[in-house]
Chains A and B, each alone.
Chain A
């Protein structure tokens, strides 16, 4: 082993964070996965078939990536945005004309949002046609549906924030649709708008929903969603041609000898 990496890794600080050696043995490679917070979302055993691109098209992971981009750009946008009238619109204009790369920031946020809706939808379609909603994964399917709704709500609440004509009328139409809910429609609309008309109160509500409530809910549910994927034995795999065993069962019923776990 070259001297420099050795100098970097053979000290107490490094060892306190990374608790294994170079992944040059099966043991260390396993440890690299198990002791890593971001990688531990994988099930203990991953089959080659499960991580083949054509199995999942990585749609779930890409949706999460889109959400990550949205979070980062969203936070940056929040530095420049005041959810009040008429500042909201003026801040948009300033983002467009005087903030360095402001247009890029907004467009990135916008396209990532469109992309996320499309990806989440395709992810759902993929899971549906793979039949991966069946037991033991039915609860995760339910979480997924809620995640899809949250994604749409995030798109909808974000739409008002530019406070231009497009935003105003889109929310007019949207909240009038809410009014069509039987018996509580009017109250629901009032709750959403913070009043009877779209004004400063509605803008603030949509802002808080868009930047705090919905993303937090989304993060919690994404965590549950991924955790359940792992608990349900990873990506659903159809029974292999010619091979007796199908997919591995849930962790509670691991088949002997198939799981390596530290």
Chain B
């Protein structure tokens, strides 16, 4: 066999060479896509438009480059100013919204960057990625209507003022014509300091004395326009100024949440009830972790929150949270407040005053008068003025603790004990220092507020029933009381009389008086007078019932009553 060597022609070299040439060109073309995409970037285009606008107004443009705010201690690398050039060192250019200056805020945006407050992805240089709309980015940019929620990234404990005092303070601020020299939230004139964020910046405690001194020095406009203010008015004005933090809507939202009693069931920053989920990090929840099957519209956290407020049970099946009957505006406000709960991780050196006061000095983030405390912790169940509530979703009527008949027979001691220890096993949590976290002074303030809801003082010496027989009381109880309070006093829609804390707090006299007087305006009728075919109970019968009620507390009910 003769060996034949392979010749170039056998391999079709010419064809191979052509293929190689064409493929090389295709490869080169493909390779050039990357630098082309790099060059034709969104930020370059934006800077081109910026330079064109600058040139048309006769200003110098900028060298095309990525701009950034770099704050290593805060972990902030924000390249937002690469496109939002109005907020960069280059300064605003009119003609396009993108290049406008930042609206005036209490902070210089250059101090903290952008994403700390607004969310989004600071390192990104593409629009969607930077606005946090990219897949798997948990923190999208806060929408414009929710931008104040960003304050919660540091200001976790903005103080909720006493509503009454703040309203009076605002009124006095105008009446004393402070607005003649100062501005506050867009109102006012003159050259005095703007007080829109006085509460955040802080103000001299002796401002009034200092003002008076200027007047005494005889400065002309001061003599004419300033005068002494009584201390109680000063307190109100101080309360008003303290709550001016430059985020009016957020403060309104937070105040609303603390008037509706959200924290009666929800903990925020470690304070509040245990019935609902802890809300401390609610504003940072990722939409990816939420269930949207009951939510219509876009799959975002704000939309989820908003719809949840209108109908909690539809959004979270099995939710215990009642439909609060909120208006659209209220639901919007509560959504804003929820978004502001961002559980920040900023280093301590950057903690604002309010956070330090709350976490280091143990001060409350709300005014500690009785009305404010009641609004924050009690109103959710008992109603804003203690009128009691009945929610469709819960088969319980919450007691009307602002009821005049109740307050007439309930002693301060009974109220204090009830608040501090709650009703274990029932919806009412214990609010004492070890449980809900209220101090004795704060509980006293709530009791004082309750007293203010109904005129008159509690009847000091209620007659104690004597000589009752539990045996006689049992059929009476079953006829008259068990329908609402339950056969064994386990509480159905009316309070649980067998509850050990109730038994401990309530005196015989209190129970007897309640049976005889009833509670006008509630389902608890008065049994001391005949009514609609029911004969009145006489005092001896009431004593029997009280004796029977006492047996309910012992090992769980009437069954264990000794039979002799």
| A101 and B123 within 8 A (CB) | no
Q: How many residues of A contact B (CB 8 A)?
A: 16
Secondary structure of the A side of the interface? helix
| A101 and B5 within 8 A (CB) | no
Chain B residues with CB under 8 Å of A101's CB are 34-35, 37-38
Quote the shortest CB–CB distance from A224 to chain B (angstroms). 29
- How far is A98 from B66 in the complex, measured between Cα atoms in Å? 8
Chain A residues with CB under 8 Å of B79's CB are 97-98
Instruction: Answer whether A100 and B35 are a contact pair too, CB < 8 Å, given A48-B10, A90-B77, A165-B136.
Output: yes
Chain A residues with CB under 8 Å of B38's CB are 100-101, 104
Instruction: Answer whether A93 and B124 are a contact pair too, CB < 8 Å, given A26-B5, A165-B136, A257-B3.
Output: yes
Chain A residues with CB under 8 Å of B10's CB are 48
Instruction: Answer whether A93 and B136 are a contact pair too, CB < 8 Å, given A100-B35, A101-B38.
Output: no
| Residue with the highest number of chain A CB atoms closer than 10 Å, among B10, B79, B123, B126 | B123
Chain B residues with CB under 8 Å of A104's CB are 33-34, 37-38
Chain A residues with CB under 8 Å of B129's CB are 96-97
Quote the shortest CB–CB distance from A90 to chain B (angstroms). 7
Quote the shortest CB–CB distance from A55 to chain B (angstroms). 14
Chain A residues with CB under 8 Å of B123's CB are 90, 93-94, 97-98
- How far is A117 from B290 in the complex, measured between Cα atoms in Å? 36
Chain B residues with CB under 8 Å of A86's CB are 75
- How far is A41 from B259 in the complex, measured between Cα atoms in Å? 83
Q: Within A103-147, which residues are at the interface with B (CB < 8 Å)?
A: 103-104
Chain A residues with CB under 8 Å of B34's CB are 101, 103-104
The verdict on B560 contacting chain A, using a C-beta distance below 8 Å, is: no
| B125 and A97 within 8 A (CB) | yes
Chain B residues with CB under 8 Å of A165's CB are 136
Quote the shortest CB–CB distance from A197 to chain B (angstroms). 20
Quote the shortest CB–CB distance from B175 to chain A (angstroms). 54
- How far is A100 from B40 in the complex, measured between Cα atoms in Å? 11
- How far is A100 from B37 in the complex, measured between Cα atoms in Å? 9
- How far is A257 from B123 in the complex, measured between Cα atoms in Å? 68
Q: Within B302-361, which residues are at the interface with A (CB < 8 Å)?
A: none
Chain A residues with CB under 8 Å of B14's CB are none
**Nearest-CB residue, chain B, relative to A99:** B38
Q: Within B364-405, which residues are at the interface with A (CB < 8 Å)?
A: none
- How far is A26 from B10 in the complex, measured between Cα atoms in Å? 14
Chain A residues with CB under 8 Å of B57's CB are none
Quote the shortest CB–CB distance from A227 to chain B (angstroms). 24
- How far is A225 from B189 in the complex, measured between Cα atoms in Å? 86
Quote the shortest CB–CB distance from B138 to chain A (angstroms). 9
Q: Within B21-47, which residues are at the interface with A (CB < 8 Å)?
A: 33-35, 37-38
Chain B residues with CB under 8 Å of A96's CB are 124, 129
| Residue with the highest number of chain B CB atoms closer than 10 Å, among A48, A86, A97, A258 | A97
Quote the shortest CB–CB distance from B137 to chain A (angstroms). 11
- How far is A26 from B123 in the complex, measured between Cα atoms in Å? 61
- How far is A97 from B128 in the complex, measured between Cα atoms in Å? 12
The verdict on B293 contacting chain A, using a C-beta distance below 8 Å, is: no
Q: Within A149-179, which residues are at the interface with B (CB < 8 Å)?
A: 165
Quote the shortest CB–CB distance from B135 to chain A (angstroms). 11
**Nearest-CB residue, chain B, relative to A94:** B123
- How far is A251 from B412 in the complex, measured between Cα atoms in Å? 107
- How far is A248 from B33 in the complex, measured between Cα atoms in Å? 47
| A97 and B3 within 8 A (CB) | no
What 1/0 flags go to A244-262 for Cβ under 8 Å of B? 0000000000000110000
The verdict on B56 contacting chain A, using a C-beta distance below 8 Å, is: no
The verdict on B6 contacting chain A, using a C-beta distance below 8 Å, is: yes
What 1/0 flags go to A48-71 for Cβ under 8 Å of B? 100000000000000000000000
- How far is A26 from B126 in the complex, measured between Cα atoms in Å? 59
- How far is A93 from B35 in the complex, measured between Cα atoms in Å? 18
Chain B residues with CB under 8 Å of A98's CB are 66, 79, 123, 125
| A97 and B136 within 8 A (CB) | no
- How far is A93 from B122 in the complex, measured between Cα atoms in Å? 10
Quote the shortest CB–CB distance from B57 to chain A (angstroms). 30
Quote the shortest CB–CB distance from A23 to chain B (angstroms). 9
- How far is A97 from B68 in the complex, measured between Cα atoms in Å? 12
Chain B residues with CB under 8 Å of A90's CB are 77, 123
- How far is A103 from B6 in the complex, measured between Cα atoms in Å? 45
Chain B residues with CB under 8 Å of A93's CB are 121, 123-124
What 1/0 flags go to A198-209 for Cβ under 8 Å of B? 000000000000
- How far is A96 from B125 in the complex, measured between Cα atoms in Å? 9
Chain B residues with CB under 8 Å of A94's CB are 123
Quote the shortest CB–CB distance from A169 to chain B (angstroms). 12
**Nearest-CB residue, chain A, relative to B138:** A165
Quote the shortest CB–CB distance from A50 to chain B (angstroms). 11
Q: Within A207-262, which residues are at the interface with B (CB < 8 Å)?
A: 257-258
Chain A residues with CB under 8 Å of B66's CB are 98
**Nearest-CB residue, chain A, relative to B66:** A98
Q: Within A4-35, which residues are at the interface with B (CB < 8 Å)?
A: 26
Quote the shortest CB–CB distance from A54 to chain B (angstroms). 15
Chain A residues with CB under 8 Å of B136's CB are 165
Chain A residues with CB under 8 Å of B35's CB are 100-101
What 1/0 flags go to B232-256 for Cβ under 8 Å of A? 0000000000000000000000000
**Nearest-CB residue, chain A, relative to B33:** A104
- How far is A94 from B33 in the complex, measured between Cα atoms in Å? 20
| B6 and A48 within 8 A (CB) | yes
- How far is A257 from B4 in the complex, measured between Cα atoms in Å? 12
Q: Within B2-23, which residues are at the interface with A (CB < 8 Å)?
A: 3, 5-6, 10
**Nearest-CB residue, chain B, relative to A23:** B8
Quote the shortest CB–CB distance from A167 to chain B (angstroms). 12
| B5 and A97 within 8 A (CB) | no
- How far is A26 from B37 in the complex, measured between Cα atoms in Å? 48
| Residue with the highest number of chain B CB atoms closer than 10 Å, among A86, A96, A98, A165 | A98
Quote the shortest CB–CB distance from B46 to chain A (angstroms). 15
| Residue with the highest number of chain A CB atoms closer than 10 Å, among B34, B35, B121 | B34
Quote the shortest CB–CB distance from A153 to chain B (angstroms). 26
- How far is A219 from B75 in the complex, measured between Cα atoms in Å? 40
Closest 9 CB pairs of A and B: A104-B34, A101-B34, A93-B123, A97-B125, A100-B38, A101-B38, A97-B124, A26-B5, A101-B35
Tell me the A residues contacting B by CB distance below 8 Å: 26, 48, 86, 90, 93-94, 96-98, 100-101, 103-104, 165, 257-258
Excluding A26-B5, A94-B123, A98-B123, 5 further A-B contacts by CB distance (< 8 Å) are A86-B75, A93-B121, A93-B124, A98-B66, A104-B37
Supply 6 A–B pairs (Cβ within 8 Å), ascending by A.
A26-B5, A93-B124, A96-B124, A98-B79, A104-B38, A165-B136
